[in-house]
Structure 1
Amino acid sequence: MKILVSGAGTAGLCAGIDLARAGHEVEVIERTNRLRANGSPIDVRGAAIETARGMGILDAVLENRITMTERTRFVDRSGTAVAPLVGQEINETPDDIEIPREDLMGILRQALPEQVDLRFEESIAMLADDGDRVAVTFASGREADYDIVVGADGAHSAVRRLVFGPEEEFAEHLGVYVAIGDAPGQATPGERVTEILNLPGRFAGVARYRDKALGIFEFRSGPIDYDHHDLDAQKRILAEAFAGIEDWKVPELVRTAQDDPDLYFDVLAQIVMPTWHRGRVVLIGDAAHCATPMAGRGVSLALLGAWTLTEELGRHGEDLEAAFTAYEQRQRPHAAAAQEFARGGADLMVPATWEAIEARNTRLRAAQPH
């Protein structure tokens, strides 16, 4: 079949790899001008490890894993450590593989078969499914027909909006925003220490790996009206959220994050849908079931989803309804578990009051192995 994949993140590249290897004619489009590789290290865990093996990328993932033992600690306003983040608070399985996001994206790009047509600065403007094909009009003005369109374009999916309805119908706001930007002045090569300062409803921290350091921020807020493509607006919201805070390294971290042209900024909102397919259009990854970074499972779900969709298309041939239904039945338990795991993350990482911060720290100190 001729298949269009919208989005060249983890889910989109995995779909391109798996579907092309299965014999389909695949085009992958990406709205931006390059693969987005910035952000904090990510995890491949659980069943996704076997998926990576099946894709032939596990050896490369293992070669690039971050093997240093990570220490995460909460600090007070002077930078003194006050509590450790105990591993079982955030990890369900001991077998996860942590790898820098930029390394994983490079591995996936290299694994993408040559026959896949990867196009940057291209996006879908309109699509029409007449039952026999999907006619797509692109933002560039180009037009083409496809047997299947796969929406792998993230939590703010344009494919989902065009086919299923506005994002507001499916997004469950967790009441927290997150930002991640480079903090080069905080790098300490060879040391894997993450430090986090909590203030009521906010945290600012620095995460170190290899020779890099990232400023990480979270803050509680109701929905904020802004264009999620507008970087200047994102930087302004970040600055306003931490305005007037002079404690620890916060002013410097905010400044360096604002200097990062690839600043990551987004709301923590889960995507919950009754179905992930309609006609000849199907969603995978965050477009279908974003669990938010609080879950630490987005990449694993992307690998699993693309692999499962490809398998079910192979089993059911041109019976797309059967293939998409089987894909959903297999993928939903993984997505639901990740979303449930993430829902308590705000209370752990961004307590709302000084009393809640101290209660969290006391609990973590008591749970620390001796």
Structure 2
Amino acid sequence: MDVLISGAGVAGSALAYWLRHHGFTPTVVERAPRVLAGGGAVGFRGEALDVLDRMALLEQVHGLPAVIFTGELIGLLYEVTRQEVEYVFGDSIATLEQDAGGVRVTFERGRPRRFALVAGADGLHSRTRSLVFGPHQRFVRHLGLYTATFSLPNHLGLPDNGRLSSMPGKAAAVLSTCDNTGARAELHFASGPLAYDRDDAAQHKRIVAEQFAGEGRPIPRLLEEMSRAQDLFFDANAQVEMDRWSSGRVALLGDAGYCAAPTSGRGASQALIGAYVLAGELAVAGGDHTVAFATYEREMRGFVAEHQQMGREGADRFFMGTPIQEASGMADADAPGMAHAQIVRLKDYAPSFAATRP
């Protein structure tokens, strides 16, 4: 049973793992030319630790420092899936046409293909969501904050934590990478919705530089490093609010369906849990998407409601001037103390999908 996954981030790569585990044949299409790198800090608690444990990745994650980054997690997921999962980089979905037997997909570059199901794991600005459910503006709630992240040399000599500066309506964090030879900076500022080209990194740098112009140390040095960075990520802190995450043979997961915003500190955890549940429900339902998608939504609603509430509270704390915990940054406030978090077990999935792995 062929399943197309749009997006090779945390949600998409984790879904590919679990679908393959249950005997499905996933294909992942990613608009970026290579495995995604960089991104903000991530951490895990409870059910997300259980997912990592069941993927035999928990020990590897615990071997990293308290603060790890999105790109490092995606790299781990890619390494454990790339031998059995088809990844198509440098392409994206152009159109989707559903019928009783499947979904015909055309791509921006590749030839048209047909799949039994499609999963949109393509982030806050999901192309899959806009094609199937409607315009971006209908579902995205802006929280009044923007975040920029980029890599830089560890010129501060940081240990396995970080340093943070805050000022009215702005904050900056510098976090060391796992080997302490490099670091990542996170710059956050308050603003209403901004108009810009999502693919224009030079424009993003100008926006951030203008917002932080005139600030004292260490901001001038960080802006200088940002001007040279090749991996800048810049986006709004926003949430995706939808009454349903599936339509016919297409389902959404992760930020595409229920983004909680970086201020929640639960983005990566939510993506891992959603991938585990969606694949598991498809397996238990024997591939019957009508049953599986409905159960997936019921199982995930509680997680999503909790995490989105945390995202709104995180944004409120920023505007109230509450200090951000040192070494966590806003990009995932649950990162510190990860090693002490307790595993909370998700339900087990005994697949009835009759497929044999090669």
Normalised by the length of structure 1, the TM-score is 0.83
* Matches of 2:51 and 2:218, distance apart in 1: 40
1: distance between equivalents of 2:7 and 2:71?
16
Cα deviations by residue, 1:199-252 (Å, 9 ceiling, x for unpaired): x22223323343332222111111111121221221121112122x14121111
Gaps of 5+ in 1: 68-97, 365-370
In the TM superposition, 1:184-203 aligns within 5 A as 184=153, 186-198=155-167, 200-203=168-171
> 1:5-59 deviations in whole A, cap 9, x for unaligned?
0000011100111101111111111101111120233112111111111122222
Quote the residue 1:206 is aligned against: 174
**Equivalent residue number for residue 87 of structure 2:** 118
Does the CA contact (< 8 Å) of 1:194 and 1:208 recur in 2? Answer: no
For 1:125, give the aligned amino acid. A
Indicate yes or no: 2:212 matched with 1:235.
no
> Is the contact made by 1:270 and 1:290 (CA closer than 8 Å) also made in structure 2?
yes
Q: Distance in 2 between matches of 1:113 and 1:36?
A: 14
Q: CA deviation at 1:189?
A: 4.5
Q: 1:51 matched to which residue of 2?
A: 51
Q: Is the 8 A contact 2:251 2:293 kept in 1?
A: yes
Instruction: Give the greater-gyration-radius structure (CA).
Output: 1
Aligned to 1:163: 132
Residue 4 of structure 2 corresponds to 4
Output the TM-score relative to the length of structure 2.
0.85
Deviation at 1:332, TM superposition (A): 1.3
Say whether the 8 Å CA contact 2:154–2:181 is kept in structure 1: no
Question: Distance between the aligned counterparts of 1:283 and 1:196, measured in 2?
Answer: 36
Contact 2:4 / 2:117 at 8 angstroms: preserved in 1?
A: yes
Tell me how far 1:182 sits from its aligned partner.
2.1
- What is the CA–CA distance in structure 1 between the aligned matches of 2:191 and 2:126, rounded to whole Å? 22
1 or 2 for the larger relative contact order (CA 8 Å, sep ≥6)? Answer: 2
Q: CA RMSD in A?
A: 1.8
Match of 1:92 in 2: none
Runs of 4+ in 1 over 6 A off after TM superposition: none
Q: Residues 3 and 174 of structure 1: is their aligned pair in 2 closer, same or farther, counting only changes over 3 Å?
A: same
The one of 139, 144, 152 aligned to 1:175:
144
- Residues 144-176 of structure 1 deviation map (CA, whole Å, 9 limit, x = unaligned): 000000001111110001000111000000011
**Take 1:26 and 1:191, find their aligned partners in 2: how far apart are those partners?**
36
Kindly provide the CA deviation profile for residues 242-287 of structure 1, in whole angstroms up to 9, marking residues without a partner as x. 22x1412111111211211110100111001000000000001110
2:22–2:283: 8 Å Cα contact kept in structure 1?
A: yes
Q: How does 1:26-41 map to 2 (within 5 A)?
A: 26-41=26-41
Q: How does 1:235-314 map to 2 (within 5 A)?
A: 235-243=205-213, 245-314=214-283
2:120 corresponds to which residue? 151
Name the counterpart of 1:334: 303
Write the distance in 1 (CA, Å) between the matches of 2:7 and 2:160.
34
Residue correspondence of structure 1 range 217-236 to structure 2 within 5 A: 217-236=187-206
Partner of 2:288: 319
- Letter in structure 2 aligned against 1:38: G
> Structure 1 stretch 252-261 or stretch 130-139: which is displaced more?
252-261
* 1:75 alignment partner in structure 2: none
Distance 2:155 2:308 in 1: 32
Identity %: 38
Deviation at 1:141?
A: 4.3
Give unmatched runs, 5+ long, in structure 2.
327-358
